[in-house]
Chain A
Amino acid sequence: MSRSASLAAERLRSTSSARRARERALEICAWASLVLALVPLVAIGIFLIGQGVRSLSLEFFTSDPPGDLSATGGGIRNAVVGTLMMTGLATLVAVPVGIALAVFSREIGGRVAAAVRFVVDVLAGLPSIVVGIFVYSLVVVATGHFSGYAGAVALAVIELPVIVVATDELLRLTDRRIDEGTRALGMLRWRSFLSVFIPTALSGIITGIMLAVSRAIGETAPLIFTALGNNFFTLDLNEPVQAMPLLIYRNALNSAFPAARDRAMGTALVLVVIVLGFNLAGRWIARRARPADQR
């Protein structure tokens, strides 16, 4: 065999044994990692469904928890309503403010906008308990009592960066040609945003909102010292208000008692279903919109 042929054969041969074995091993490790990560997901699912379903009943949704967590019976009505109220109010505030901040960042630009963006990014990375402390200092101390409003403010602060970032990303993708088109028509800027840019980005913004909501619904730490929690049912946000994550937390601390355990798991099941529902709905909206955007 000539020299070049044997070298070629050598090269062909060297993609074998040792190399292939090493790569096979790496691939196995990668698959193992995936399985490892998915095991908790499945485990939690089984845990929640298996142990949580039996707590669900009509009573569970229509009555309030007993004052003594070790007692059986009662439900989570005040927690569900409290979560809905606070998250709803928080979203109502965070969405227009978040979109406005993103528009600000796009339209004004420059160093001021960069500074604002930086603050928002920092806010996005803050531990939610720090947010809770901030709102505690600002609202609870100022008003003198815990309240659902304070809780809503804390949740709004948590939702805000998510919405700003999502809206900003989408506005950034606005076709330059469309932007030029609006300018060449002499359209006023606010008009352009309202009638052209934001509607074009709308489904992405909605996705951002749904992801923000799904996060806020599940937050516990910021509510611990703002909304505090409440054993009774109330529609008055000026009082301490119960929320589902808080309820789970308090019952979990008493999980030596079976009644508290069961209550915690039932609530957790409901909470996860709602959170995943929002999360998946948001992603589905994003997927549906994408083909139209790629024009």
Chain B
Amino acid sequence: MTTMAPAAGPSEEREQDVPASAELAVELDRVSAYYGSRRVVREISLPVRRNAITAIIGPSGCGKSTLLRCIDRMHELTPGARVEGRIDYHGMDLYAPDIDPVAVRRTIGMVFQQPNPFPTMSIHDNVAAPARFNGLLANKAAENELVERCLRQAALWDEVKDKLKAGGTSLSGGQQQRLCIARALALEPDVLLMDEPCSALDPIATLQIEHLMADLKRIYTIVIVTHNMQQASRVSDQTAFLTLGDDRAGFLVEMAETVEIFTNPKQQLTEDYVSGRFG
């Protein structure tokens, strides 16, 4: 695994006062999400540990993806959608009025269920473009270095290094997804959100992504939403189990170390879900 060389860029934006041993990257505090007047996520409080993989599991439609999208302020893009509660990121509430949501999204990256590389850009440009647009690159050399670094981190470099100019959509599904991961990493996010990243992929590609996640967590913090319990038990360090309440809103049933959730859950609901009795 290559070490992260610092990318050229406005270094004055980087302070050294980030406590390297900070335990939590993000902390959700009684977060609720609404579509209009309808609440779909109910008062979820959830700590996300740094340099770990946190999995959010639960039956379909219980608001897992919605919750994830609250973290990088994507939920509010839907007309009428809003969020209540606090999401703490390094002591700041991401939903404070003086926070720029666009900036939040550059700091907290997201990978979607369906790979969505930019269709008119090459592999190289797909990775480089967002960084380029944000002025993080000083010159072409820095750009090439960034592209290689991110593609290596996404375990895609060896497969595409000879065809960086090929179209982003000329790759297989699994490769496209890794390309999207590389693209998200190019912005050097702190946290990477992954919304069912493997559900559109075949089993081999899925395994590749899971291996990738294990590597990535050494550098990044990852939150993954998955409906695949086996996947959650394979990759994650902590697991949060959500389910639909009687008010048709998702709520947090239980959250603990992954091993605990799957072998010794404290709640009956959790026990029922992980043993396959419902969901």
Contact = CB atoms under 8 A, between A and B. Distances in A.
Interface of A: 175, 177-178, 180-181, 183-188, 191, 195-196, 199-200, 202, 292, 295
Interface in B104-120: 104-107, 109-110, 112, 114, 116-120
A191 B134 CA distance: 10
Interface in B249-275: none
Contacts of B104: 186
A186 to B, nearest CB: 3
A177 B104 CA distance: 19
Interface of B: 72, 74, 77, 102-107, 109-110, 112, 114, 116-121, 129-130, 133-134, 169, 180, 183-184, 187
A191 B105 contact: no
A186 B105 contact: yes
A199 B120 CA distance: 7
B116 A188 contact: no
22 contacts: A175-B116, A175-B119, A177-B114, A178-B118, A178-B119, A180-B112, A183-B105, A184-B109, A184-B112, A185-B109, A185-B130, A185-B187, A186-B102, A186-B103, A186-B187, A187-B130, A187-B133, A188-B102, A196-B121, A199-B120, A200-B119, A295-B119
Contacts, number: 63
A185 B116 contact: no
Given A195-B129, A195-B133, A295-B169, A184 B105 contact: yes
Contacts of B114: 177
Contacts of B187: 185-186
B169 A185 contact: no
Nearest to A189: B102
B183 A185 contact: yes
Given A178-B119, A181-B112, A183-B77, 13 more contacts: A175-B119, A177-B114, A180-B112, A180-B116, A183-B74, A185-B105, A185-B183, A187-B130, A199-B120, A200-B119, A200-B120, A202-B120, A295-B169
